[in-house]
């Protein structure tokens, strides 16, 4: 009654947008697997995948095909329903976050109709992301428990403890950011970072919240279960961790969900701290070119930032050794949470001082 | 039936059947999963009432944090069918009687109360701005007191966890 004035044209527009974004993130995630192997190869002085297609560019397709045609084994002693639900949940939560990210400014057509490049502009955008991230651990937990394997169970419990611990510091570092922006809507946060330089200072939140950014970045490594924090699947202690019993495309879902998560997390970091689709001299560009081209440039700028952050994630993975579990927990509880609290206090004090 | 009503009834059916599933399922892990589904249905109700902030906080806090800890504990307990404690007849009888008495009390309480219908007017109290303003002006004292309560619970947990001599390996590393 309040919210359900359904407009068919609007629905179709959003449907197309959502499908494009979903397919886009799947595509980027696919080539992120290729990119990861190439980055690893370069850093270890190897060649990397180079057989399937030029530069090995068809390698992700070959991998996907291989996973599809593998024999699917469901262990007899597993809880079958949850065993199948686990990878599905991992994939679902990985894909959900992309709904609130603004991929570009509104494109205004010649008839004056504004096409928003954001699936849903809800006024609690950041909290939505946070909620979906906190649900992400269920896929790992259920899969690990349902496998009825001690390594899987240990791994899923590690993953749960790790993600609950690091969510705290992540949330507090976001509070400091929200105190500055005064809004939870992703669209407004991007709007406030318009251009690059205004009123004698940078507009991007990275320059206003460097410590908060650092905490957020470290926590997102932990939330993504990526090295140096990949406690859930460290092969020297847990064989393969939570996906030990999985085979075929169910294993593929788990591995693929990690890459989708990495893409979406990079997009969130770019949106919150690096100005989203904003770039220096964007007003001059907007006047010089036609609106469609301008929108495309903005989207490409955001994608460039996202790819840079993904590359950073990969460099870190192939550079740093894995943490030990108690070191990981100590870093989270004794360093990051106090740091995030101090950052929040400083931000509050500066805002009060600026107000007076 | 309007779309609002259709969604309302759908969410109600989901919430009630999942809540029944929590108490009827034998396996504690599926109980927890039913409870999570119930929280989602309730969050859907919040969104219908235009209380988006409450809806998402319900998911973050309950489904995202508290239920993860529940699941954590239940997974660590090795629950098999044969380790389930056998309840004797006396305990079952006591359960039936006390449950029946509780049901009677609830019935008596509901009988004399007037049933209020849900008002479908546009309120904005559930939006984060208005909620924050109300919490920090009109209800600031209860709000702060409850936060002190949470703090004391946290400190209590830390004190309990610190009891006994610390493990030597974790201290000198």
Helix (H, G, I), strand (E, B) or coil at A323: coil
By CA distance, what is A166's nearest residue in B? B65
Check A128 against B53: CB less than 8 A apart: no
Q: Are B16 and B69 found together in one domain?
A: yes
> Does residue B86 form part of some domain?
no
Domain count of the fold of chain B: 2
Q: Are A157 and A137 in contact (CB under 8 A)?
A: no
pLDDT at residue B169 is higher than 70: no
Q: Is the CB of residue B59 less than 8 Å away from at least one CB of chain A?
A: yes
- The shortest CB-CB distance from B60 to any of A2, A130, A327 is to A130
Which residues of chain A make contact with B122, given a CB cutoff of 8 A? Answer: 2
Check B3 against A326: CB less than 8 A apart: no
> Does residue B151 form part of some domain?
yes
A220-273 residue pLDDT tens = 888 887 777 777 776 667 777 777 778 888 888 888 888 888 888 898 888 888
Check A326 against B56: CB less than 8 A apart: no
- Say what percent of chain A tops pLDDT 70: 96
Mean pLDDT of the region A287-300: 81
Q: What is the DSSP letter of A74?
A: -
pTM of structure: 0.83
Q: Are A169 and A337 in contact (CB under 8 A)?
A: yes
Domain residue limits at B142: 124-163
Alpha-carbon gap: A280 to the closest alpha carbon of chain B (Å): 32
Check B52 against A1: CB less than 8 A apart: no
> Does residue B156 form part of some domain?
yes
Q: Are A316 and A227 in contact (CB under 8 A)?
A: yes
End-to-end alpha carbon distance in chain A: 44
Residue A260 burial by Cβ neighbours in a 10 Å radius (0-12, 13-18, 19+) = buried
The contacts found for B31-35 with CB under 8 angstroms, 24 or more apart, are B32/B67, B32/B70, B32/B71, B32/B74, B33/A82, B33/A142, B35/B67, B35/B70
Q: Are A315 and A39 in contact (CB under 8 A)?
A: yes
Integer Cα distance of A290 and B106 in angstroms = 68
Check A1 against B60: CB less than 8 A apart: no
Q: Are B41 and B18 in contact (CB under 8 A)?
A: yes
DSSP readout, A4-73? Answer: ----HHHHHHHHHHHHHHHHHHHHHHHHHHHHHHHHHHHHTT---S-SSSGGGTTHHHHHHHHHHHSPP-
ipTM of the complex: 0.77
Q: Which residues pair with A198 in a beta bridge?
A: A201
> Does residue B143 form part of some domain?
yes
Q: Is the CB of residue A128 less than 8 Å away from at least one CB of chain B?
A: yes
Check A135 against B64: CB less than 8 A apart: yes
Integer Cα distance of B133 and B143 in angstroms = 12
> Does residue B34 form part of some domain?
yes
- The shortest CB-CB distance from B3 to any of A4, A161, A327 is to A4
Q: Are B130 and B75 found together in one domain?
A: no
Residue A322: pLDDT band by 50, 70, 90 thresholds? confident
**Look-up: residue for tokens 């970045």?**
A217
Of the two residues B121 and A235, the one the predictor is more confident about is: A235
- Say what percent of chain B tops pLDDT 70: 81
- The shortest CB-CB distance from B75 to any of A124, A127, A145 is to A145
Check A123 against B127: CB less than 8 A apart: yes
- Tell me the Ramachandran region of residue A201: left when phi exceeds 0, alpha when psi lies from -120 to 50, beta otherwise: beta
Q: Which of B50, B79, B108 is the last residue of a domain?
A: B79
Mean pLDDT of the region B20-28: 85
Which residues of chain B make contact with A157, given a CB cutoff of 8 A? Answer: 72, 75-76
Q: Are B66 and B7 found together in one domain?
A: yes
Q: Is the CB of residue A141 less than 8 Å away from at least one CB of chain B?
A: yes
Integer Cα distance of B158 and A77 in angstroms = 38
DSSP readout, A205-269? Answer: HHHH-HHHHHHHHHHHHHHTT-TTS-GGG-HHHHTTGGGTT--HHHHHHHHHHHHHHHHHHHHHH
Check A326 against B122: CB less than 8 A apart: no
A42-55 residue pLDDT tens = 888 888 788 887 88
A5-42 residue pLDDT tens = 567 777 788 888 888 888 888 888 888 888 888 888 88
Q: Is the CB of residue B14 less than 8 Å away from at least one CB of chain A?
A: no
Helix (H, G, I), strand (E, B) or coil at A276: coil
**What's residue B86's pLDDT?**
67
Q: Is the CB of residue B57 less than 8 Å away from at least one CB of chain A?
A: yes
Q: Are B4 and B71 found together in one domain?
A: yes
DSSP readout, A154-221? Answer: HHHHHHHHHHHHHHHHHHHHHHHHHHHH----HHHHHHHT-SSEETTEE-SHHHH-HHHHHHHHHHHH
Integer Cα distance of A148 and A163 in angstroms = 22
Residues in contact with A261: Cβ distance below 8 Å, sequence separation at least 6, in sequence order: A94, A136, A224
Check A3 against B60: CB less than 8 A apart: no
Question: Where residue B37 sits, what CATH number does that domain have?
Answer: 1.20.120.1200
Q: Is the CB of residue A167 less than 8 Å away from at least one CB of chain B?
A: yes
**What's residue B122's pLDDT?**
60
């Amino acid at each position: 009654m309040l919210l359900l004035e359904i407009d068919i044209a609007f629905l179709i527009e959003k449907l197309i947008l959502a499908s494009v974004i979903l397919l886009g993130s799947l595509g980027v995630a696919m080539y992120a697997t290729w990119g990861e192997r190439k980055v690893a190869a370069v850093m270890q002085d190897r060649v990397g995948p180079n057989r399937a297609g030029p530069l090995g560019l068809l390698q992700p397709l070959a991998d996907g095909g291989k996973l599809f045609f593998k024999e699917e084994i469901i262990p007899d002693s597993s809880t079958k329903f949850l065993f199948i639900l686990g990878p599905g949940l991992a994939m679902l939560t990985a894909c959900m976050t992309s709904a609130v990210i603004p991929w570009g400014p509104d494109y205004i057509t010649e008839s004056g109709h504004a096409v928003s490049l954001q699936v849903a502009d809800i006024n609690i955008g950041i909290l939505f992301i946070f909620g979906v991230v906190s649900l992400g651990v269920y896929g790992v937990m259920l899969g690990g428990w349902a496998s009825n394997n001690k390594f899987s169970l240990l791994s899923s419990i590690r993953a749960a403890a790790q993600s609950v611990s690091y969510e705290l510091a992540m949330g507090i570092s976001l509070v400091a950011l929200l105190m500055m922006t005064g809004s939870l809507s992703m669209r407004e946060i991007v709007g406030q970072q318009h251009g690059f330089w205004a009123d004698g200072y940078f507009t991007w939140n990275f320059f206003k919240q460097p410590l908060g950014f650092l905490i957020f970045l470290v926590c997102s490594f932990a939330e993504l279960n990526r090295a140096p924090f990949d406690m859930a699947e460290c092969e020297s202690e847990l064989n393969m961790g939570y996906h030990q019993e999985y085979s075929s495309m169910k294993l593929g879902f788990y591995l693929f969900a990690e890459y989708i998560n990495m893409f979406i997390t990079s997009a969130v970091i770019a949106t919150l701290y690096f100005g989203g689709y904003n770039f220096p001299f964007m007003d001059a560009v907007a006047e010089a070119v036609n609106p469609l081209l301008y929108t495309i440039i903005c989207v490409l700028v955001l994608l460039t930032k996202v790819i840079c952050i993904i590359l950073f994630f990969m460099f870190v993975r192939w550079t740093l050794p894995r943490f030990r579990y108690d070191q990981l927990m100590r870093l989270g509880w004794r360093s990051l949470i106090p740091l995030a609290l101090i950052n929040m206090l400083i931000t509050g004090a500066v805002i009060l001082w600026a107000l007076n | 039936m309007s779309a609002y009503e259709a969604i309302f009834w759908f969410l109600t059916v989901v919430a009630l059947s999942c809540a029944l599933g929590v108490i009827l399922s034998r396996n504690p892990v599926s109980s927890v999963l039913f409870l999570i589904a119930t929280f989602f249905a309730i969050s859907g109700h919040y969104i219908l009432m235009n209380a988006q902030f409450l809806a998402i906080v319900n998911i973050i806090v309950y489904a995202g944090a508290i239920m993860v800890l529940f699941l954590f504990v239940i997974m660590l307990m090795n629950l098999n069918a044969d380790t389930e404690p056998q309840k004797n007849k006396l305990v079952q009888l006591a359960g039936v009687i006390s449950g029946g008495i509780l049901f009677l009390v609830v019935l008596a309480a509901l009988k004399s109360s007037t049933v209020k219908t849900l008002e479908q007017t546009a309120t904005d109290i559930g939006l984060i701005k208005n909620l924050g303003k109300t919490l920090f002006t009109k209800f600031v004292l209860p709000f702060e007191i409850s936060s002190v309560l949470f703090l004391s619970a946290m400190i209590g947990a830390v004190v309990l966890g610190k009891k006994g001599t610390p493990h030597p390996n974790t201290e000198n590393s």
